[in-house]
């Protein structure tokens, strides 16, 4: 049975567009032509793999544009959680960028593993850890804002934990159980 499953997995990876997940907490997005750094994309984000080119991989990003913030893309525009920011111009769903191949993971779970540890480290000193799926995406925003002072985290740390909590919220985008 196991062999059959492996075979199916191998065959399906040829049959469908390949997906991958951003592995590094902050991964540089490189322009498709000039390969200059034009923005950053965050861990856990699912992307489509277009092609490999040396130690770079061309990826296609999908998301929703954010009202009042043209340079960002979000998993869902409401509630807002951005997974990509570019330094200039307009972030568009379907845009292609190069990233370092080593900044990608084939599987979803490993791409969230580090921030999951950070979350449980940061948020379990006073009470038991709340499982992300206990709350909806927009509730986590409010809870985390209330807890930021308690947990003594800066805005960047808060944004990172919020991405993790929202992605794994009951209406979040993460598919693999963490």
Binding site for ligand HEC (CB under 6 A): 122-123, 125-127, 130, 143-144, 147, 150-151, 161
Cβ-Cβ contacts under 8 Å for 23 (sequence gap 6 or more): 43, 102, 103, 104, 105, 110, 111
CB-nearer residue toward ligand HEC: 31 or 114 = 114
Least distance CB 101 / ligand HEC (angstroms): 33
CB-nearer residue toward ligand HEC: 96 or 130 = 130
Least distance CB 150 / ligand HEC (angstroms): 4
Least distance CB 130 / ligand HEC (angstroms): 5
Beta bridge partners of 154: none
**72 with 85: CB under 8 angstroms?**
yes
CB-nearer residue toward ligand HEC: 25 or 151 = 151
**Which residue, 44, 166, 14, 154, is CA-closest to 107?**
44
Least distance CB 19 / ligand HEC (angstroms): 29
Cα–Cα distances (Å) from 173 to 63, 136, 176, in that order, read: 11, 11, 10
């Amino acid at each position: 049975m196991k062999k059959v499953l492996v075979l199916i997995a191998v065959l399906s990876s040829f049959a469908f567009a390949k997906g991958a997940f951003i592995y590094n907490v902050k991964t540089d997005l490189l322009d498709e032509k000039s390969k200059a750094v034009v923005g950053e994309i965050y861990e856990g984000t699912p992307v489509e793999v277009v092609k490999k080119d040396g130690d770079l991989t061309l990826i296609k990003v999908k998301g929703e544009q954010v009202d009042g913030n043209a340079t960002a893309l979000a998993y869902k525009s409401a509630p807002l959680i951005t997974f990509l920011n570019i330094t200039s111009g307009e972030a568009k769903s379907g845009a292609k960028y190069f990233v370092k191949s080593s900044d990608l993971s084939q599987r979803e779970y490993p791409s969230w593993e580090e921030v999951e540890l950070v979350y449980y480290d940061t948020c379990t000193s006073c009470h038991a850890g709340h499982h992300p799926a206990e709350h909806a995406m927009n509730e986590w925003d409010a809870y985390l804002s209330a807890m930021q002072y308690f947990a003594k985290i800066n805005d960047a740390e808060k944004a990172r934990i919020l991405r993790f909590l929202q992605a794994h919220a009951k209406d979040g985008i993460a598919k693999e159980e963490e």
